[in-house]
Structure formats: C-alpha cells, structure tokens
Chain A
Amino acid sequence: MPLGFIETAPTKIASKLEIEKPADEDVIVQMPTDLDEDHTFGEQWFVVTSQRVLLIPRQGANGTVATPLSDVAFVRVDDLVGGGLIEIEKKDGTPVFIPFSQSLRPKFAEVAEGLKRLAEGESDKLELPTELDRTRCESCNRLLPEKNGTCPVCIEKWETFWRIVGYMTAYRGEVAVMLSLTVVGSLLGLVPPKVTQHIIDDVLTPSAGFRPLVWAVGALLGVRISIWCVDVSRRYIARRLGLKAIQDLREDLYRHFQFLPIRFYDRRRLGSLIARMTNDSDRLEGLMLYELSFVLSNGILFFGILGLLLWTNWSLTLYVLLPIPPIVYAGSRIWERMMRNWNLWGARWSKLYAQLNESITGIRVVKAFSQEAREGKRFDGHNEGVREVTVIGERNWFVFFTVTNFLMSCGAFFVWYFGGLKILENEMTLGALTAFVSYLWMMYQPLRWFGDFYNFMMRAFAGAKRIFEVIDSQAEPYEVAGAEELKEMEGRITFEDAYFGYDPGKPVLKAIRLDVEPGEMIGLVGKSGAGKSTLINLICRFYDPDRGAVRVDGRDMREITLRSLRSRIGMVQQEPFLFDGTVAENIAYGKPDATFDDVIRAAVAAEAHEFIVKKPDGYDMKVGERGGKLSGGEKQRISIARAILHDPKILILDEATSSLDTQTERKIQLAISRLVEGRTTFAIAHRLSTLRSANRLVVVDEGRVAEVGSHEELIERQGIFYRLVKTQQETTAVMEVAG
C-alpha cells in the first residue's frame, strides 16, 4: 500500500523546495492540497521536513511560507462544511492556513494531529500512520466509490459472471450432466425441419404412398418426444443445481453479515442491507435457475442453425442475416437505458424497504404523534416510485421487443421472396424452403430472447455486485495468523496511550492511560458524548485503537484471537436485546450447552427465577420478537442471568439500571452485585449514586481520562466529578419539589 504522505511534486515546486530548505533536511510530508488560499480548486504544496513546515503556492506563484518547527506554537484543524482548515499558529506573526476539501481530510487530519502532538511536546518527531486508505483504483486511477473498495469499472462483467458460475462448480457431476443434455437437446432440435423437408419433397410431392408417410410422421413424433424428454431432464437438473448454488450463496452472505465488523454497519441502512439478502439474491436465483442454462442451449441452437443454413443455401442465408446489424444497433441503444433503469429499480426498492422497516420499527412513535396518514403518504410516494420505474423498464423492453421483432420478420419476407424465385427457377425444392423458414424462426427465437436475457443478466449482475460487496468486505479478524488463543484470563485491562476516532483525524479517545486490576469494578462517569461507550467498544474490540494499545493480562488484544477474547466478555445493556425464543433459550444464549439446572441457578442469582415461574409457561415462555412480551425490568434480569451463565471474566454494564422503578432497580442492583463478584467490571451509569460500590471511578471528559479515584477521593478533590454530583443532586431536588 502506498504511503501517500510523500507525493511526487512538479519540477517547479521541487526546485522551489530546493531553495527553501537545506539539503540535509529530510522531507517527511510532501503533498498537494486541493484548495487555494481563496478556497477555489487549486494546488498548494504542503511540505514538512525535520526542521520546518512549508506551504508552496501553485506553479508560478511566488510567496512560499516557511515556518521553522520551533516557531510553531499550536496546530488546530478547523472543521469547515465540506472540508477543513489547518491553522498553524506561530509564536508570533500571522498564522499559516492550509485549506483542504473533504477528499483530503484523512491525510491532512493525520498530519495536523502529528504536528499538534509535536507542538505540544507529546512526541519528539512527527508520527504518521503507516497505512492510508486507498481512495483511487490502483489500475485505472479512478476514484473509488468506497475507500479500499473495489473499482466497479475494473471489475469486469465477466469476472462477476465467473464468480456466479463459481458457485456451481461445487456440483461438478450435475453440471456435466446438464451440459451434455443441453448439447444433445439442442442438436435434436435441428432434426424436425429436416424430417418435414423429407415429407414434403420425398413423400408428398412424388405421392410416395401410405407407408413412407407413416414412417416419416412416426419419426417426427419420435424426435419430438425425445426432445421433450431431454428438455424436461435438463430443466430439472438445472433448477436443482441453481437452487443449491443460490442456497450456498445466501449462506455465504448471511455468514458475512454475522462476521462483518461493527464499523460496516455504522453507516448503512438496515433496509438496504436486507434488500441484498432478498431482492438481489432473488435476481441471482433467476439467473442461475433459468438464464444460464437457456443461454447455453440457445447459443448452441443459434450457431448450429446458422451453420446448417449456410450449408443448405449460403446466398439465401445472407438475407436472413441482413436484419441482424440493425437489431444489434437498436439493442445497444436501448440497452444502456435499460441498465440505468434497473439500477434505479433496485435503489427505489431498497428505499421502499427502508421506509417499511423504519415505520414498523417506530410504529409507537408514529401512533403517538398520530402520523399514520403521513407515513402512508410517504409510503405511497415510494410505492409510486417503484411502479413508475418498473413501468419505464417494461416500456423499454416492450419497445426493444417490438422493434427487433419487426426487423426479424423482414428476414422472413426476404426468404419467401428470394427463396420463392429459386423454386420457380427450379433451383430449390419446396421442402427445402419450408425447412429454411422453420430454421429461420428457430434461429430468431433465441436472438429475440437474447435481448431479454441481456437485460435480465445485467439486473442480476447489478444484484451480484451488491452481494459480492458484502462478501468482499473485510470480516473481523477472527482467525489471524500469529494470534493466540487466550487459555486462562485473569481480567487485567490496560489502556496504553490509546487513541481512537470513528473518523480519521477526529479522535474521540485521546491518550487513554488506565490500568484495571483483575476483579476490580470501574465506574465510568462523564457527560454524554465524552467517550465512555467508545471506551467500552474498545474493550470488546468492536474497534481497534488508531494508536496505542489495549492490553488484556498484559498482552495486546490484537495478538489474541477474537473468539477467545469475546467469549470472556459479558454485557448487560440499557435496553437488553432478547431473541425470539423461550426464556430458557435466551438465558443460555452465550452457552447453548448449559444444563437446565445451570439456567435455573443463573436465573435465581439474577432475581429472575421468581417472575419466570409465575408465567404460565415458565421457562418455556416465548419472549416474542426482541423480548416484546416482557417488561423492561424482566428483560433486564434475563439479560443479567444470561451474563451470569456466560460467566465472563470481564463484565460490562452499560446503563444497566437506568429507566427502571426503584423497587425493580433494587432487585437488579442485588443481582448485579452477585454478578460482578470476581470479575473485572466496567459500569456506565448516569445516576452516580448507583456507582457507589465501584472500587474506582474514572471520569472521562472530552475523550481523556480526567480524574481517577474512589467516590470519596473525587468528592474531596472538588473537580469534574464533584460538579457532576452537585448538579445531579440539585436536579433531583428540583424534581422532588416539582413532583
């Protein structure tokens, strides 16, 4: 992967740089911006050497600004809308401003962050990441639609095609049988016109008698029956094969959905992901089931007939071929339009799905604000969009069909006319002409159908692309070479100068240093958005730190297999997610082989047993989708039982006791106090009083660890925590007065 921080500068820039910097200074960063100082598109070259920062205006312009690094007082990135601005503040004098568009943000933000750390004395040389995202295709240099993604132009259609075919190669036997049946069936298809020719020329015209007629018609019937038998078996095998292959593909897709990192889901809409599973795989199914075997058999038929016609009468065949160029021309004109239309079709459908998903998930909000009618209208809009684009698609196809069909019939007119002339001149027999016309229509049949095939195939390809996009996305590194299984875990968690941001250059966590003893309970405190949940995401390794490390028992998390790490982490969330199944199944979710005794023991420890046995079906009660048939407190206790049974070494309580009434909360507190025993626990709670049992409290503020200490110590210090507690007490007091 190219480093990207040093780019080749044009000669004029390079020579300017030569003048400005001593020869012995190493260039660390040398790259162009894409905005001029007046924010129009243009290049300025930004160079950082071991001693200074330079900004060289675009070719020809004068006014290079060089700032010795020792003069840099402060570096900040100002977020503009659609870009950014690096401001290098000097110890005295006008600061240097470097504007860039959003496209260059990843690079410039990294450099700015490095310079900032340098200026603040946090590092002694400019540190830059060793890898940058790939934004352009390596072979054609086109901008990529997705960072590090595949270039849709360079991925050939054939490649997609072979990948689809690849799913069938697992069933080689069936493929071989299907192929041979196809060849046999197609060749048999060529026989009937020849038999009719024989009937007309050798039986009927010379009045050869009754027996030859019976023989000939019998032969015709026999050929038809064998064609029919071959065709039925071919279709049967083709479907079976296609269905198996599509099943494999769907399995593949689903597995990938499960193993993709959380990052993949951050910016995608649920509905459009589901559409890949349903719509797109449906289309592929159609392609595999019907189209592939059809294109094969019709291809053979087409070329077989063409050869036969040329052999029978080559001059007449030329008339048959005459309409083909205009057909190809008309087809290619309409084709682009059809493809665009099908892309739009997919987009509209996924919009419809997305809205359906949204309005049904949020049905309570819709009803509470009595917006059913408006949601209905919104749906109508999307529905209309789908209809509209489908109609346009159908119309395009209809136009294509009609035009090509007309052009093809022209071929038949030519043949009747010129073939008729040949008969009149006794150069051709009536039977030969009849056979010729039959072949002609048989040849046109697949040709006409090719238009449909192409259209359908492109639709399926577009769907395949979307499916392969998921399959090609990097899965979480569950099995990395060199990563070790974690056999025993003590539960020590160490953050070593960890930096992390969801977007490059916008760190959410900065220089986190924290050492948590095995079995210790840590309360995470801070304003919302301070970085508490992000900290937890790093512990679960949903994300890796950008810099620094998170260690478990002194070992970098990246050196441990994900499976062995996560199997020792338990989580109780604010809104526990239960799966549609029984209470017992949900409790045993993390440990499916648990005995029923274990399940009950966990439920008792979680204070859940009591309410469970009160239910008519007890542990066999179905909880409904997302646990909809249980109350919040009940779901919470089941999720605690789930965590207890899972027996993790590291436990995460994410607002586990908020939004519950006091009595339920007391029970849950009791359950939690049993759960945390002997486990390293990280608890986030807004109600600070619930964190009294924590060994230490960690106050996170603007992505940094601001204060660490026990409840009493922090109160004594009168810092951020003290103020938070104060505010909360006041709020509670106000609420009590008001209530």
Chain B
Amino acid sequence: MLDVEIEDTEASAGPEDDPTWKPTPIEVVHPKKVDPADILLLREPEWKLRMTIEGDRSYIRVKVARAAPLTEPDRYICFLDIKDDAICIVKELDELREENRKIVLEELEKRYLTSYVERINHLRNEYGVSYWDVDTDRGQREFVAKNVAENAQWLGEGRLFLVDVDGNRFEIPNVQALDRRSQSFIELVL
C-alpha cells in the first residue's frame, strides 16, 4: 500500500548545498489510507465491478486506473468510484489479494487501448504527416500521425510512444527488437 503520508523518500528535493535539509512532512488525509489486504473485488453481476473495503464500505461500479500509465504501468493502481472520484491507491499489485490481482489486470487490459506495435508493414512521410501500416498485438491497423519527430515520446531506451491524429495510442516497446525493415521505417521519420 502506498503510504500517502509524503515523506522524504530520497532526500533529493532539497537545496543541494545543505545535505541535512529535509522537507516538512505533509499529512494527506485523502485518498484514505486503506490496507490493500482489506480490499475485496467482485464482479457482481458479471459486468459490474464492485469493491468492498472490509470493515468500511462498498462501492459499486468501480473503475481501475493507472496513476501514471506511461511511466509506472504496473504500479500505483487507483480505484475510482462511480463519479470518478479516487477511493484509494495501491502502490504494488503484490499487496492485493491473489484473486483481486487477476481482476485488476483484466480491468486495466480493458481500459487501456494502447496497441503494441510488433511490425511496421509500411510507413510514408510527407509534409510532416506520416501514414503508418502496422501489425500490433490487437491486429493490423493503419493510422496517421502528425509531426512524429516532434510528438513521439521516448519513454526510455528504445521505448517509443505515439498518439495518432484521432487520439489512438501506439507503443513500440523496444525499437531495437523490431525487424530490420521496420527499424529502417522508424529511422525515416525520426
């Protein structure tokens, strides 16, 4: 569980000249401190996700979201209520009960429609607009992106994130792991 009390985690934020400097701790009361072991997730009925915090209360129609989908996709999992207000946040999936973890992963899978590009079949670039034809984990897809050189985000070594003109998300987990042809297409635009 993420301790919401903000502590001096890496003692880094302070002025560089004073190594003893520590930020003043700030107590945050919301989202509420919830022990992840107390969380119980249920699909009831099949299409609705229900969440019960044992000894506290129940929520119907709960949404599961990532706090930082790009940088921390597997940690910092948020639970939102029917009005999209935050109920609580769980730092590590391991902190959840075994049976809940599966549900959380399924929910995340459903909510985030990012496609992972496995192969680039074709890529053409004209006037800063690029036309892509890719194979992804969701199947083949064509899309258009504007100013890839400007708008593509590198999320780490070889990890490329793209949003097309409509707002669809594509990710290449590792550019170097693509086949030669796909890589040369990438070099065309970047």
Contacts and interface: CB of A to CB of B under 8 A. Distances in A.
**A, B in one complex:** yes
A105 B166 CA distance: 9
Contact of A97 (B47, B129, B144, B164): B47
Interface stretch (B4-12, B33-41, B89-97, B145-153): B145-153
Contact of A81 (B113, B128, B141, B149): B113
A81 B111 contact: yes
Interface string A81-113: 111000100000011010001110100000000
A80 B112 contact: yes
A591 interface: no
Interface string B158-171: 00000011111100
Contact of A82 (B47, B131, B142, B168): B168
Interface stretch (B19-27, B52-60, B132-140, B175-183): B132-140
B111 A343 contact: no
Which label, helix, strand, loop or mixed, suits the secondary structure of the B interface?
A: mixed
Nearest to A346: B128
A84 B118 CA distance: 23
A462 interface: yes
B141 A41 contact: yes
A101 B126 contact: no
Contacts of B146: 145-146
Contacts of A97: 47
B113 A82 contact: yes
A102 B113 CA distance: 9
B110 interface: yes
A61 B67 CA distance: 38
A541 interface: no
A83 B113 contact: yes
A94 B45 CA distance: 9
Contact of A103 (B109, B138, B168, B188): B168
A347 interface: yes
Contacts of A80: 110-113
Contact of B128 (A41, A103, A343): A343
A735 interface: no
B166 A153 contact: no
Contacts of A105: 166-167
B143 interface: yes
Contacts of A351: 150
B47 A94 contact: yes
Nearest to A83: B113
A263 interface: no
Interface string A316-352: 0000000000000000000000001001101110110
A431 B169 CA distance: 70
A40 B139 contact: yes
Pick the most buried of B128, B136, B140: most chain A CB atoms within 10 A of its CB.
B128
B147 A347 contact: yes
A81 B80 CA distance: 15
Contact of B69 (A81, A144, A153): A81
B46 interface: yes
Pick the most buried of A97, A343, A351: most chain B CB atoms within 10 A of its CB.
A343
A146 B147 CA distance: 12
B166 A101 contact: yes
Pick the most buried of B47, B113, B114, B126: most chain A CB atoms within 10 A of its CB.
B113
Contact of B127 (A42, A94, A462): A462
B165 A145 contact: yes
Given A95-B47, A97-B47, A146 B167 contact: no
Interface of B: 45-47, 69, 109-115, 125-129, 131, 136, 138-144, 146-147, 149-150, 164-169, 188-189
Nearest 10 A-B pairs (CB), nearest first? A82-B113, A41-B139, A102-B167, A103-B166, A143-B144, A82-B169, A145-B129, A347-B150, A152-B127, A83-B113
Interface of A: 35, 39-42, 80-83, 87, 94-95, 97, 101-103, 105, 135, 142-146, 152-153, 340, 343-344, 346-348, 350-351, 462, 465
Given A101-B113, A103-B143, A462-B128, 9 more contacts: A41-B141, A82-B112, A83-B168, A94-B47, A102-B167, A145-B146, A146-B165, A347-B128, A347-B149
